[in-house]
Amino acid sequence: MLFSTDFVLRPYVPGDAPAMVAAILESTSTLAPWMPWATAQFSMSDALAWIATCEKGLAEATCFEFAIFDRASGMFVGGCGLNQMNAMHGFCNLGYWVRQSWQRKGAASAAIRALADYAWTELEVQRLEIVVAVGNDASLNAARKAGAVDEGIARKRIKLGRQWVDAHMLSLVKP
């Protein structure tokens, strides 16, 4: 488990599936433009498949995905993780999403900081990359609030649905 002042991050378990589905269905209007998997059709089987992928990735140390919970209420707030591990060059991707009713309450930036602490202490990582589609101001602001440095815009860096889009490249580096 990873902790911040207000949030707890822990690996997903199958019991998280109903809360994950509810969070995604609540948030399709804010998530779907940036995360094409976050549709009104997201189902229990989708959530369970994701959780199984996360469990396998954690067991194989290929990705480290966590559910985010409000420390006080225990509410499922969103998800975050470290993935696309590059052992040779000591970097990986850091990603996050927050359900609509919890956006702008510090969950994303707290998750970013907790993941960075985890990466620096538990993994042999020197650099974390956060790739944010141009126009996704909420995600961009969360990364900046957490201390990520905006290194510029990479052209056609990510694919959203069938469209390649430009993206901000931000980073955190190990102190």
Q: Is residue 113 part of a domain?
A: yes
pLDDT digits (tens), the chain, 175 positions:
767 789 999 999 999 999 999 999 999 999 999 999 999 999 999 999 999 999 999 999 999 999 999 999 999 999 999 999 999 999 999 999 999 999 999 999 999 999 999 999 999 899 999 999 999 999 999 999 999 999 999 999 999 999 999 999 999 999 9
In a domain, residue 42? The reply is: yes
Domain coverage including residue 106: 2-126
- The rounded distance, in Å, linking the Cα atoms of 163 and 79 is 24
Name beta bridge partners: 36.
none
Cβ pair 129, 170 in contact under 8 A: yes
Q: Which of 153, 138, 147, 152 is nearest to 172 (CA)?
A: 147
Residue 154 included in any domain: no
pTM of the predicted model as reported, rounded to 2 decimal places: 0.95
47 belongs to a structural domain: yes
Query: CATH number of the domain that 53 lies in?
Result: 3.40.630.30
Q: Which two tokens stand for residue 61?
A: 């140390």
Residue 146 belongs to some domain of the structure: no
Q: Number of folded domains in the chain? A: 1
Long-range contact list for 30-39, CB < 8 A, 24+ apart?
30/100, 30/103, 30/138, 31/97, 31/100, 33/135, 33/136, 33/160, 34/133, 34/136, 34/139, 34/160, 35/97, 36/160, 36/161, 38/97
**Residue 79 pairs with which residues in a beta bridge?**
67, 97
